[in-house]
Amino acid sequence: MNNNYSACTSILVGRKATTDGSTLIGRNEDAKSAWPKRFIVHEHQKLAKQQKFISKDNNFQILLPKERLKYTATPEWTDKFGLFEEDGINEDGVAMSATESTYANNQVLGADSLVKNGIGEEAMLTVVLPYIKTAKEGVKRLGKIVSEYGASETNGILFSDCKEVWYFEIGSGHNWVAEKIPDDEYAVVANQMAIQNINFDDPINFQWSPNILEFVNQNKLNINRKGFNFREIFGTQDQSDTYYNTPRVWYGQRTFNPKIEQNPNSQQLPFSQKAEHLISVFDAQSFLSSHYQGTVFDPLGTGTKTEKTKFRPISLAKTQESHVLQLNGNLPQQIGDIHWLLMGVGAQSTYVPFFAGITDTPEEYQYPVGKDYDPKSAYWIYKLVGVLVDPHYLEFGEQLSNVQNQLVQSYIQIINETIQASDNLTGKELNKLADKQSNKAAIMAMDSFKKLASQFITQSTDFSPLNYHQDLNL
């Protein structure tokens, strides 16, 4: 098993667990410290005949339906290694985030190995999201693909619509399960098989690959005398999990259930919990931007060097982008659904609200950036501030926090304005409003971070080790 420790952290929240009745799914896309992302909108498309998707990554191939829904996506700066569109919302109000990297144990993979040219992360959003009308349809479409074509990786995938939130896990080459998050609960996932007990008599709340029970029984993979615990049958419970994965789940559950005492190294943390208080979209963003604040494990805190480096933080230098996909069924889909997108490192950037009705994105977000720094790219506009803050966190941290807080207040004002302005609007009028207000928020965010970078560069000139502070009274 080749563990690639560049991975993600996810959060899923049911509609009765949020402050406004929205469903929430969010994830940090963690891979490389300098690997630019873009943000685009794919238009609704009707074709005369089916098109074949061919992956540049592993030659996975599949015929696609003739009609493709409009959807948002965050592809990488290059498609040399595949598309990696990762996260988006389609025009029918379905959101998807793919993927949360997970790891299966050797016994499982020995019985059902991964498929070299099966579906992988880079292709998932592209071949699923534009062709589904509900979250459960997403589960079924992806499940059918994994069962028939096989999977090249073990992964977790997040689906939502305004009513339901689903988490889907690939456990081996052809085996998978999915669980609906209870409406009044949340789940935090961190690079480890997460789903626990499967109820095969409840297809309303669970879905699974057709032959999974037979597969497990024939290969004698169930370590328990009773029940079917997917995490324990398919997953890993090794030393790397206790330092790299479970502490992030522990911190998420500590955040939303502070009264519950749990061990950060525990392999038995529950998949989902009922939070002590309702969760807002900003709470979800705060979690994805966190780094064990309030504990000795905070890399920026006051713990010992050993404590501060013991666990892998949630907000990481290798985060390319982070997103929270908010779906509110009480408003028109074009306005009620919001693709909150943060470029760069969560703790050092800002989640910008893009209404799902947008037909385009600002040029800085879709700019054909290369791998290296380019001030024309939205990714680098935000990333630059983080680079400048890193060596001078004590000097710049408060200024960054002030700007982040002010932007959140401005986003709330823009959202409220948009909701009020959407009264009596329909169709393309709502799309036009979504474009205008999303652009307003994005320009405000980019201008704020450009100004902040300018200030930090100017102030940094006085931090040189060659500096000398002369007594001007001499």
Active site residue 8: yes
- 306 burial (CB, 10 Å; 0-12 / 13-18 / 19+) is exposed
Find the catalytic residue in 1, 5, 8, 11.
Answer: 8
Write out the two tokens for 338: 């919001």
Tokens coding 465: 């080790």
Please report how the helices 121-128 and 135-149 are oriented relative to each other, as an axis angle in degrees rounded to 10: 130
Catalytic residues: 8
